[in-house]
Structure formats: structure tokens, C-alpha cells
Structure 1
Amino acid sequence: MVLAVLIVGCTKSIEPVKNEPFIIESVSSPSSSISVKLTVEAFTEILKLGGETDLIVTISSLDGNSYDDTTAHIELPKGITLVSGDTEWIGNLENPASFNARVKFEEVGDWTITVGAKSIISEDIWLGGNAKVCFSVSEDKITMESGECQTIGSSKAEQLAEEDIPPIDIEPIESIITPDPAIPPKQIGER
């Protein structure tokens, strides 16, 4: 049996079912001509500290136009490391493009993986989108959210003991994920 969960532009906490394949997706808002989709795939028995999972990034043009000078980049937090694959794609976005990365959960804590994509149209104009999935990593399990990730903070686990974090159930909400115009296009993909 395959368990597939698609969450588009909303937030909901997901806990995998033991011994079943697990998929969660985050898709950028359709307000841009560039779509960014981050898919996380794993078998639940490895979704714990020290486990690995696959990230699949797909970027596409929503308006049918071709975009030269397109860059997509996976931003990994300190608690998650790259095992194999790519964290960046650069090219002409004529057809949907995708790239993969395998990552390992190295530290207990709350972490966010963000993918951003930009196509530079001119010096002052760019199109883009971003998607993110948040992970709450403990010794024996990982809980994931997509969208705005309201129940998982970037440093909550460092600030509070695990038993001090109350369970929170968040219903799906509409959200708009837009690229940060304060980040100049030349910074995409730079480390």
C-alpha cells in the first residue's frame, strides 16, 4: 500500500505510518510564472535521527514561456546534510526540469528545507517561487509539515525540552509563498 499526501499551499502536520512509503509535497504559489515543487520521499522506518530521505525538486513554467538564466537551489539547514545528488540546477527552463538530492538527518531539532527558483528577465525584473518542508527530528521519529510550517520553528528544540512542547493540531490554511524581493538574483545558489 502506498501512502501519498499532497499539500499545496497549506500547512498541516503529518506523521508517517510505520513501514509504509511516505511522500509529502510543497508547491509554490501559482502567483508567479515559475512553479517550484519540493517532494520528500522516504520509507517510514528510516524517518528518524540518522535516517536518510530523498528530495526531488521540480521547476516548471506555468505560462508556457521559456526562461533562460534560471537557477534553483536547495537550502539545507545545519541539522541536515547532503549525502548524494545536487543542491542546485542552472539552465534554460523550456520544459519542466528536476534534480534530486539524498539527505541525512544528523541532529535532533526543528529544521526547514527550502527550495527557491528564479529566472532573471532583466536587471530589475525576475520571476520565481519557493517551497519548503519543515522537519521535527527526534531520536525515534520525524514529523513533517509543508507550507508555512507554523508548528515547527527553526530553533524550538534548542529552546525547549521535548516534553515542554505541547502537541499542536493545525488545520490547513491558505498561504501564499512568494520569493523574497530583498534577495538579489545573483545570490541564488551562492553559499
Structure 2
Amino acid sequence: MLNIGNDIIDLQLAKTESDWQRIGFLEKQFTEKEQKEIYNSENPFLKVWLFWSMKEAAYKCYTQKVKKRFFAPQKFECLLTKEDEGVVTFQNTNFYTTTFFDASYIHTIAEDKLIKGGHKIRVFLGVGSPNNLDKDITKRLQENTGILSSEIEKRKIQIGVPQFYHHHKFLTNSCSISHHGNYGAYAFIINGN
């Protein structure tokens, strides 16, 4: 089964609430290779949060698979293949990332398998207010399943991963919700018919 994760960074909040330049911050979060890339970047601030967003999205993807939470950002190593695409590696597992840049935020999604044409899996993404994410997701599910949004229920599994149901029927194969500051984002997968 394909898993998906996502992460969003409110860049204004990151500027005011997080001092990535403090002693020890980069060393605890990033590999030596990533640190070097950050320091050599034209915009080190943006590179820090790009890598952080990639790591978080991959982590959320991985935790859905193993059903266990932990904190080890330095063990997730980022490699950019294009400006907005990359691979995050953790324990010989690759997570394929796509990042969307906005003047106000960075939003990254990660998948644990590359999806090529012909699959019936559909990925849904959205960015908006953190307060409206559940409503946005149930609306998208209604549009794609025909089930009334008022009949769709959100449940969280033990590690906090959201899942959406209609009665006992599982609607989302994989779902990731994130929020930071003024922004919220989601990514979920439903199987095609």
C-alpha cells in the first residue's frame, strides 16, 4: 500500500519563532552533507525549512507504515533531484518528495513509492486555514465518493494519524494533515473504482 505524508512551514512564523542559526541547531537536525548544502545556499533560511519540510513529510509517511512515533530528524537524509523534487532516505527506504513554494509557506508531500501512469490511486492535496482542514477533506471525499460529508467521520489511530470513515468503511488509504502558523495542509489517497 502506498503511504503519503505532508508538511507545511509558515515562513513568517519560522522567521520570528525559530533561530536556526543558534549553536547546535543544525548539528542536531541535519546531516553533515545537508549542513554543507545549507551553508553554501544562496538562501540558507529557505534551505533549512525546505529540508525540514522534506524530513517531516517523509517521517509522517514512514510512521503510517510502521505505526510507531519517534524523533530522529538527522537519520532522514535529504537529496534534491530538482529544485522542487527530492528523495529522503531513512534506513534504506526512499521517500519521494515534491515541494510547493509560496512567498508565505513551503508545502512538501512525500510518497514511499513512485507512482507511474496507469494506477488508480488518486492523491488529493490542499492548503488553507488550519481550522478548516477536516471540513475541506470531507468535502473532497464527498466529491469523489458520493458519500455526504456529514456522514464522514475522522478517527485517529494510536499514533495520531487521521483516517476517514463512512460507518465502518475505510475511505482514505493514507492521510496526512499538518499545520503551522496561519497555514494548514493535507494529503490523502483513496483508491479508484
TM-score range, shorter chain: under 0.3
Q: TM-score, normalised by structure 2?
A: 0.24
| TM-score of the pair, normalised by structure 1 | 0.25
Bigger fraction of residues in helix:
2
